[in-house]
Amino acid sequence: MNPSRIEQIVRHFRENGLKLLLENPANARELLGLTATRLLDRMDFARMRVDPTTYIAADYRHIASDLVLNVPFRTGRGRESITVYVLIEHQSEPDSLMGLRVLDYVVQIYKRQVRDQLARDPSRKRVQLEPVLPLVLYTGTVSWPQLPRLVELVQQGDEFGDLIPQIGPLFLNLPEVPSDQLAQSGPLGCVLELIQHRKARPEEFRILVARAVQRLEDLPARERNRWLELLSYIRAMVYHDREDSERDGLRELILKSVSTDARRREVETMFRTGAETLREEGREEGAIAALQQALVNLLRGKFGRLPRATERAIRATQDPGQLDAWLVRAGQATSLSEIEIAPP
């Protein structure tokens, strides 16, 4: 077991936990399988690589985190293959700008390919781009039946037709996927089913957790790390999405659902690693909340009632360095505008 991976999944559960799971080739393949894309059988996930480049523009970085996977794709000409860039964007809320965002990400990937090719051959005589396959994974609870088209954002857009760029990414709308389809799709599907029912009644959720853990037991020994990462995600989901009164019981249920003593010891070690990470995360969150409140109190004392936008920006800021800097400026400022508080 790699404790650092467990810590990452637990510590970054909200923003990046699912993304970290999808860095595993088997999980990524199962996710694409749920989209029923006809391209799947020609994609070689055994040789998949995670692209370390961040393609998201600065104006989206506070709300988005991209995952780009480089997957070999058989061309159909003997053993020849090209690379497909699989872009996965995880959304927990509907976004009216999703079409524009995905288009922007895809263009950024193509532009990076152009830069790399021109660095090797500045003549521009043979620039050939490799395809990008965008996928939006929606796990929210608010209905979002389809992705908005870019033309819908443009005034009189229908009159301009083909002049407005369009992109039709794969869209996996998790709330609408039948549970039996998730259950049949593999180990990742078991976890996605839990995500789908994370707000279920306690007894229903217990049944789903037990069923998911037992299905994960079918993973062979060679996929031990995948098994532990999926279990650590379930454990973090219990901590973040279920009531305090349920957590200890669900923890014991997970342990009892693991079949062998050796595996149970590994899960206990994983739990200890996760618990330490959660305690540290709690301490960090407490320190940040204290800084936020201190800044709000200081500003109210100096300038009276604060604009809602200012207080929202303070509460949304998780960077202790930024909060400290605002506190220092607040102590010296004679007006609120001098502090330059802006949303993160």
Residue 285: per-residue pLDDT: 64
Same domain, yes or no: 172 and 303:
no
Write out the residue range of the structural domain in which residue 317 sits. Answer: 284-339
Cα 90 to Cα 84: distance, rounded to the nearest angstrom? 19
Residue 227 lies in a domain: no
Percent over 70 (pLDDT), the chain = 90
pLDDT tens-digit series, residues 309-323:
888 888 888 777 788
Is the separation of the CB atoms in 103 and 153 below 8 Å? no
The dihedral through the CA atoms of 68, 55, 59, 35 has a sign that is negative
pLDDT tens-digit series, residues 166-221:
899 999 999 999 988 998 899 999 999 999 999 999 999 999 999 999 899 889 98
Percent over 90 (pLDDT), the chain = 44
Q: Which of 21-30, 56-65, 217-226 is least confident?
A: 56-65
- Give the pLDDT band of residue 62 (cuts 50, 70, 90): very low
Residue 268 lies in a domain: no
Residue 168 lies in a domain: yes
pLDDT tens-digit series, residues 117-147:
999 888 888 889 999 999 999 999 899 999 9
Residue 102 lies in a domain: yes
Residue 210 lies in a domain: no
Residue 296 lies in a domain: yes
**DSSP structural state of residue 165:** -
Quickly count: other Cβ atoms within 10 Å of residue 2's Cβ: 11
Residue 132 lies in a domain: yes
Q: Which residue has the higher pLDDT, 70 or 291?
A: 70
Residue 146 lies in a domain: yes
Same domain, yes or no: 172 and 43:
yes
* Average pLDDT of span 287-314: 85
* In the predicted structure, residue 75 carries a pLDDT above the cut 80: yes
Residue 162: per-residue pLDDT: 87
Among the listed residues 276, 241, 238, the one whose alpha carbon sits nearest the alpha carbon of residue 257: 238
Is the separation of the CB atoms in 133 and 87 below 8 Å? yes
DSSP 1-21: --HHHHHHHHHTIIIIIHHHH
* Average pLDDT of span 57-65: 53
Residue 175: per-residue pLDDT: 95
Q: In total, how many domains does the chain have?
A: 2
**Greatest Cα pair distance in the chain:** 74
Cα 154 to Cα 192: distance, rounded to the nearest angstrom? 35
At CB < 8 A and 24+ separation, what contacts does 266-275 make? Answer: 266/1, 266/224, 266/228, 267/228, 267/231, 269/1, 270/1, 270/6, 270/228, 270/231, 270/232, 270/235, 271/235, 273/3, 273/6, 273/7, 273/10, 274/6, 274/7, 274/10, 274/232, 274/235, 274/236, 274/239
- Give the pLDDT band of residue 3 (cuts 50, 70, 90): low
* In the predicted structure, residue 264 carries a pLDDT above the cut 80: no
Q: Which residues of 222-251 are buried (b: 16+ CB within 10 A; e: fewer)?
A: ebeebbbbbbbbbbbbbbeebeeebeeebb
Residue ending a domain, among 176, 211, 241, is 176
Residue ending a domain, among 176, 210, 234, is 176
Burial class (CB in 10 A: 0-12, 13-18, 19+), 138: buried
Same domain, yes or no: 46 and 171:
yes
Residue 77: per-residue pLDDT: 80
